[in-house]
Amino acid sequence: VRRKGAGGPGHGAAMANTRFMYVRQFEEDPACLRNTYMVVRLDGRGFTKFTKAHGFAKPNDVRALALMNRAALDVAKQFSEIFVAFGQSDEYSFAFRRDAQVFGRRQSKILSTIVSLFSAAYVFYWAEEMGKDCPLTTIPQFDGRIVIYPSLTNLADYFRWRQADCHINNLYNTVFWALVNKGGYDERAAEQKLSGTVSKDKHEIMFSQFGINYNNEPAMFRKGSLILRHDLDDQGFPKPVGEDAPAADAAVGETSMAGLEQERPKRKKQRAKARVAGPPQVLHVDFMKDAFWDALADY
SS3 of 18-68: the string is: CHHHHHHHHCCCCECCCCCEEEEEEEECCHHHHHHHCCCCCCCCHHHHHHH
Give CA separation, 135 vs 89, 116, 130, 153, in Å.
Answer: 20, 21, 8, 43
Q: Closest Cα partner for 113 from 140, 146, 159, 91?
A: 146
Residues paired with residue 291 on neighbouring β-strands, in sequence order: none
- Residue 29: per-residue pLDDT: 84
* pTM assigned to the model: 0.84
In the chain (299 residues long), the average pLDDT of successive 10-residue segments reads: 50 65 88 97 97 96 98 97 97 97 96 98 98 96 97 98 98 98 96 97 97 96 97 90 43 43 51 64 96 93
The confidence score (pLDDT) of residue 266 equals 52
pLDDT for res 183: 96
Euclidean distance between CA atoms 239 and 246, whole angstroms: 14
* Cβ-contact 38, 118 below 8 angstroms: no
Nearest-5° angle of CA 87, CA 131, CA 213? 50
CB 86 within 8 A of CB 227: yes
Q: Whole-angstrom Cα distance, residue 168 to residue 40? A: 22
The full length of the chain comes to 299
DSSP helix/strand/coil, 144: strand
What are the E-state strand segments in the chain? Answer: 37-44, 82-88, 91-96, 142-149, 225-228, 281-283
Residue 41, φ and ψ in degrees, nearest 5? -115, 130
Cα 274 from Cα 271, distance rounded (Å): 5
Amino acid 243: pLDDT: 45
pLDDT at 250: 36
H or E element: which one contains 209? Answer: helix 199-210
Instruction: State residue 28's pLDDT score.
Output: 85
Cα distance between residue 199 and residue 216, in whole Å = 16
pLDDT given for residue 239 in this prediction: 87
